[in-house]
Amino acid sequence: MSLKEIITVPDPLLRKISEPVERVDKELLTLLDDMLETMYDAPGIGLAAIQVAVPRRVLVMDIARKEEPKKPFCLINPKIVRVSQEMSIHDEGCLSIPEHYAEVERPASVTVSYIDRDGNEQERDFNELLSRVVQHEIDHLDGKQFIDYISKLKRDRIVRKLKKEARRANSVIL
């Protein structure tokens, strides 16, 4: 396994719609393992393949606390098939938008169809935090970010700050 670099806003790749996975093979399983290692190292609770510059419909997540045993989920070609009428509002952050958070309203629960690591089709209900994480990560696969759900003014402020930080990181100090 190896750590992958997490790309950040304003990288245009984050707006790309990810391509479906054709088959579960050794290469894909290695990607999933690398993504989990990268997510845990970051640390984060969810990561979409596009965030490590791989535009494929794959995501990983694990909401277990540090002191708890790991409970990773690997979803291939995930698709939301049902959403609850009940909505919930919570702060969200993102490994691709470091150190920025905003309240986002999302359905409180969702049902997702996907393929697991073994190549089996699955359908599962996700509630509470897992529901929020899976929706956030599927958004990444569709070229969306959590800042798309906040006001234009707040979004523009965050993007400007991130662009400024990226310029500063790329400049040479003599």
Buried b (16+ CB within 10 A) or exposed e, 23-52: ebeeebeebbbbbbbbbbeeebbbbbbbbb
pLDDT at 114: 98
Pairwise CA distance, residues 56 & 125, whole Å: 23
Distance linking the first and last C-alpha atoms of the chain: 37
Q: Would residue 29 count as lying in a domain?
A: yes
Q: Would residue 7 count as lying in a domain?
A: no
Per-residue pLDDT of the chain (174 residues; tens, 9 = 90+): 799 999 999 899 999 999 999 999 999 999 999 999 999 999 999 999 999 999 999 999 999 988 899 999 999 999 999 999 999 999 999 999 998 899 999 999 999 999 999 999 999 999 999 999 999 999 999 999 999 998 888 888 888 888 888 777 776 555
Q: Would residue 119 count as lying in a domain?
A: yes
pLDDT at 150: 87
pLDDT at 173: 52
- Indicate which residue of 22, 121, 137, 165 is catalytic: 137
Q: Would residue 166 count as lying in a domain?
A: yes
pLDDT at 155: 86
- This prediction's pTM: 0.92
Q: Kindly report the CATH number assigned to the domain that includes residue 113.
A: 3.90.45.10
pLDDT at 165: 80
The question of whether 105 is a catalytic residue gets the answer no
Q: Would residue 2 count as lying in a domain?
A: no
Contacts 24+ apart (CB under 8 A), 68-72: 70/40, 72/36
Tally of domains in the chain: 1
| Amino acid symbol at 6 | I
Q: Would residue 1 count as lying in a domain?
A: no
Q: Would residue 98 count as lying in a domain?
A: yes
Given a contact cutoff of 8 angstroms between Cβ atoms, the answer to whether 33 and 1 are in contact is: yes
What are residue 63's phi and psi, to 5 degrees?
-100, 10
Q: Which two tokens stand for residue 63?
A: 């909401």
pLDDT at 172: 53
* Domain hosting residue 98, numbered range: 12-170
Q: Would residue 83 count as lying in a domain?
A: yes
Q: Which of 47, 125, 119 is nearest to 83 (CA)?
A: 125
